Amino acid sequence: MKQQSTVIYRSPDKITNLKIRIRIKEIIGGGDDPLEEIQTFRWQQKIFGQFERNFYLDRKNCATELEKKYHAEICKLSEKNNVLFSYVNEDEDEVDKFDNYEIMHLMADLGDRQAINLCTIKYDSVQKVLTMLPDFTQSEPYYIHVEGDAKKIYEYRVDDVSEKIPIDSLLKENEILDRINLHQLKMKLDKGYREFEIPPKNKLSVYLFLEILSARNFECNTVYVQYFIDLPPHWNCKNSATLKGCTQTSSWLNNERVAYFGLPLEICLEYDFQEIREGEILKPPSIYFEVVSKDSWDRFRSEGLAYIILPVTQAGVYNYELRCLRICPDGITGNLRRCFIGDFSNYENIIWASISGANENCVNRYGIRTEGTGQINIRIGVLQQSQEFLQDFASNSTGRRRKFLLDKLNTSVLIKSIEQVVAAFKVAKRKMIEARKNV
């Protein structure tokens, strides 16, 4: 037995041109007078079955406008016991409604209230898509088994008998469709095109695509992250509003203790290397983060600080897991303040997290107690653009100008990293001396 399956067709032609022919034949159980009928259906053509004829013929059964319409149509019809009939889009009781869809069922009335659905056709008027169940008959027909006083088997075919378009008309139609498609493509290109922006001479543009992914293992379960980008001399930003901001508030509801943000940011930084002096060390920008918690009483607490030097020296994608620290409150008063009213105002400047401060003055941090808290996960994509790189490419050189600029930035990052290592070593040495005193 042939298996039925749903088939989808693209139908740019008008759906009103569709014609389907159903041919049904009784092959077992028909006796001396087996059933055989052929009917051609146009799209949304209403053909009444025997039950509908009897029902709508009685004026008392017709209350709605559609039922009255069917009553009038049936009164004009000659008496005919046809087997094949249809349900159309207007038949709300028999047909499901779909957005942008028109639907049609081709049916067979096989007696003893055996109304069989032979074929269902759906048409999406927006996407111009025709869906059929089953598909048009290719070779073997479809079969229907009816159990009753005597077993009956029917076979039927579903054939496309739509009028074919003449070859010259088809070629002309395809030509028109191609012209329409080209015109629509041109409109899209014209609408979406804008001139490629080139940074000014003696400028290095660094595009940062930053994504604050998540925060984990903090004390409170409802947190958000605020950030700030510190620009050293000779650096500037096209849109200064993007240098600081914050994520939405996020909570965790399970034992993973992870708050997800997924906040994407796009930041464009520029460096004016015309200001570079002989022997000067370039300072790269840094980004600082502060994790802030909010409880049900709207109390805000600073949960941790972290920072990194932005990887402006090399294009690529970078992933970071930043470990945070926070200042421990001073004495009982500080602990009570953090518990009852919060301590979000503790940090006047989140640049405090940096080992080497932004200013040139020495900052005394002796005696400040800190503790480690949670981690922040971020991802940064870096793109670089400069007319100096273009000059290297045009002159077919080995990129000496580009190498000179980036080496300058790499040197500054290396020196800042060494400063961090030296500072960390001094802290470790002081702790070791204090531990020996207590022995």
Supply angle C-alpha 407, 408, 409, rounded to 5: 90
Indicate the SS3 state at residue 149: coil
Predicted confidence at residue 213, as pLDDT, reads: 94
Output the DSSP codes for 315-368: -EEEEEEEEEEEEPP-HHHHHHHHHHT--GGG-S-GGGGSSS-SSSS----TT-
Predicted confidence at residue 159, as pLDDT, reads: 92
- Interval 217-266: pLDDT, tens: 888 888 999 999 988 888 888 888 899 889 999 988 777 889 999 999 99
Across 381-400, average pLDDT? 67
Residue 100 backbone zone (phi > 0: left; psi -120 to 50: alpha; other: beta): left
- Does residue 41 register a pLDDT over 90? yes
pLDDT band at 95 (very low <50, low <70, confident <90, very high): very low
Across 155-165, average pLDDT? 87
Strand partners, 265: 210
- Interval 199-225: pLDDT, tens: 777 788 899 999 999 999 888 888 999
What span, in angstroms and rounded, lies between the C-alpha atoms of 174 and 189?
Answer: 22
What span, in angstroms and rounded, lies between the C-alpha atoms of 212 and 248?
Answer: 11
- Interval 140-153: pLDDT, tens: 899 988 887 778 88
pLDDT band at 358 (very low <50, low <70, confident <90, very high): very low
What span, in angstroms and rounded, lies between the C-alpha atoms of 117 and 47?
Answer: 14
| Lookup: tokens for 223 | 């947190």
How far CA 6 is from CA of 117, 118, 120, 240, 427, in Å, comes to 14, 13, 9, 56, 73
Q: Tell me, rounded to whole angstroms, the distance of Cα 166 from its chain centroid.
A: 44
Mean residue pLDDT of the chain comes to 80
What's the predicted TM-score (pTM) here? 0.49
pLDDT band at 364 (very low <50, low <70, confident <90, very high): low
Across 389-413, average pLDDT? 56
CATH of 203-437, picked from 1.20.120.160, 2.60.40.150, 2.40.30.70, 3.10.450.50, is 2.60.40.150
What span, in angstroms and rounded, lies between the C-alpha atoms of 430 and 383?
Answer: 42
Predicted confidence at residue 406, as pLDDT, reads: 61
Domain boundary assignment for the chain: 7-47+82-160, 167-194, 203-437
Q: What is the DSSP letter of 429?
A: H
Q: How many C-beta neighbours within 10 Å does residue 260 have?
A: 16
Predicted confidence at residue 403, as pLDDT, reads: 60
- Percent helix, strand and coil across the chain, each to the nearest 5: 30, 35, 35
- Interval 308-335: pLDDT, tens: 999 888 889 999 999 998 888 777 877 7
What span, in angstroms and rounded, lies between the C-alpha atoms of 258 and 223?
Answer: 10
Sign of CA dihedral 252, 254, 257, 262: negative
Predicted confidence at residue 318, as pLDDT, reads: 94
Query: What's the first-to-final CA gap in the chain, in angstroms?
Result: 92
Predicted confidence at residue 355, as pLDDT, reads: 57
